[in-house]
Amino acid sequence: MTAAYTQLEARFKRLAVIRDSAGVLEWDLQTLMPPGGAQARTEQLATLSVMAHELLTDPRTGELLERAETDALNAWQQANLRGMTREWRHASSVPASLVEARAKANTECEFAWRKARPANDFKGLLPLLQKVLDLARETAAIKGEALGLSPYDALIDQYEPGARQAEITPLFDHLAAVLPELITEVIDKQARRPAILELSGPFPAATQMALARRMMQAVGFDFDHGRLDTSAHPFCSGVPDDIRMTTRWNETDFLPGLMGVLHETGHAMYERGLPEDWRMQPVGAALGMGLHESQSLIVEMQASRSREFITWLAPRAAEAFNGSGPAWSAENFIRIYGKVERSLIRVDADEVTYPCHIVLRYRLEQALIGGDLKLADLPGAWADGMKALVGIVPPGDKDGCLQDIHWPGGGWGYFPSYTLGAMTAAQLFDAARRARPEIPTALGRGDFVPLMGWLRENVHSKGCLLPAHELLIAATGKPLDPQIFLRHLRTRYLDS
């Protein structure tokens, strides 16, 4: 390699450190920071965003990238250079003043959202959210022109490299056509069965935390390299050697908090498994948020909601909460975890209705970014979409368009990754079970080692060496096939 490539690695390592520092501040904002620190934190995060942007868009970076194109590099270095170039192209198209303005607006709006949501106050949040949307649209237009993409595709590409509406829209339209009927079929089938026995609480948050940590250890999480805390919205952040996870607790129902932890643990295991030799380089990072979501959903949905794992979990949950009787039996737990209902909240939704929540957000994002929907009309459009896709209407915005942190925090273009991840998870889990038939039996004794071993070998350790579609073909033998996901839903919820 030449001096150009070597200098680029040094620059991108420094860039990673700046971003990692911002990530820790973001985690602190969500978990420990007192309300009075909001203004100072806004300035801190904005400053770090500008520092990262200036380093990435420094003319010298562009010159080094051009010189390194002719270098004789190995496969990992070539992939790293591609990742560097991609990041540079995204960043260099946007002026630093816009980056700073977005960072401040996003932080201010996100902090205001934490009060607006419980108060059901969409109108109160509207001016700040409008500013966030306007800046996102401005960014999308600038990036789209520079990258030769539509504005919304430019936003999607930030989270899902190479993904385009041309492929996503037909796929989501197909799900929207199939899933409402499937939801009705499953609910009708479950209604014909004896009533589920409810688990009686209370379920103290401290006890839930202890049980969640035990499940994280079963998955394989190393607490020497991470921690679990409480926040308004579950998330996973940090760096591979210092993972920060959060969830929220409901002391009348421990299942959402526990499954939220297992979901975030899937994210954490992916981060921990990324190639250690390429830490703080683009090629050593996660391969898009769709693949990231697939790793969380493999743990939460494919493995942790399997009959085998729930049979192992049930007696341990009963022990934690001093539960006894038929309600705490494995069969009743299986029915609880397999319950499908027309619920309002995305993060608590079952895996049959969940894609409909994402299709709704995807369609609304398209309309908002494209200017076809006014932000003031979002609550009504949300209600109409929920009725059509899920069959239920939110009584207020708290359970409707205010429920997610993504838009107040500036995460426009992120939502499609969730359902792309769900389909990828089903396909990877199907391939893993075919390659290692012992996986279901191991899950039945709380052992994730065979599953995680396969994922480390075929997904985690690859980093960004391959584009997402090539990695999926290499791991499963075929491109993304939505029929595998739909077959999984029918098998679990109609045939069992």
Output the six-digit token pair for 427.
């396909």
- C-alpha span between 10 and 69 (Å, rounded): 17
Query: What's the angle, vertex CA 100, arms to CA 98 and CA 106, rounded to 5?
Result: 95
Known catalytic membership, residue 69:
no
Instruction: Give the percent of the chain with pLDDT over 70.
Output: 100
Query: Does residue 474 register a pLDDT over 60?
Result: yes
Output the six-digit token pair for 136.
């996102």
The pLDDT-based confidence of 1 (bands split at 50, 70, 90) is: low
pLDDT tens by residue, 390-436: 999 999 999 999 999 999 999 999 999 999 999 999 999 999 999 99
pLDDT tens by residue, 212-239: 999 999 999 999 999 999 887 788 988 9
The pLDDT-based confidence of 64 (bands split at 50, 70, 90) is: very high
pLDDT at 96: 84
pLDDT tens by residue, 90-131: 989 989 899 889 989 998 999 999 999 999 999 999 999 999
The pLDDT-based confidence of 81 (bands split at 50, 70, 90) is: very high
Q: Is the peptide bond before 202 cis (omega within 30 degrees of 0)?
A: yes
Mention every residue, 6+ apart, whose C-beta is less than 8 A from residue 205: 230, 249, 251
382 residue type, one letter? W
The pLDDT-based confidence of 496 (bands split at 50, 70, 90) is: confident
pLDDT at 360: 98
Burial class (CB in 10 A: 0-12, 13-18, 19+), 135: buried
pLDDT tens by residue, 6-30: 999 999 999 999 999 999 998 898 8
15, HSE (Cβ side, Cα atoms, 13 Å)? 22
Q: Given the residues 26, 87, 110, 264, select the one marked as catalytic.
A: 264
pLDDT at 232: 77
Query: Does residue 357 register a pLDDT over 70?
Result: yes
Output the six-digit token pair for 131.
């500013």
pLDDT at 201: 84
- C-alpha span between 355 and 178 (Å, rounded): 11
pLDDT at 30: 85
Round the average pLDDT of the chain to a whole number and report it.
Answer: 95
Provide the sign of the torsion angle of the four alpha carbons 338, 187, 233, 486, taken in this order. positive
Q: What is the mean pLDDT of residues 233-248?
A: 89
pLDDT tens by residue, 306-325: 999 999 999 999 999 999 99
Instruction: Give the percent of the chain with pLDDT over 90.
Output: 89
Query: Does residue 2 register a pLDDT over 80?
Result: no
Output the six-digit token pair for 8.
């680029």
- C-alpha span between 326 and 333 (Å, rounded): 10
The pLDDT-based confidence of 38 (bands split at 50, 70, 90) is: confident
- C-alpha span between 407 and 413 (Å, rounded): 9
What pTM, to 2 d.p., does this model score?
Answer: 0.90
Cα torsion at 370, 373, 374, 376 (round to 10°)? -140
Query: Does residue 442 register a pLDDT over 80?
Result: yes
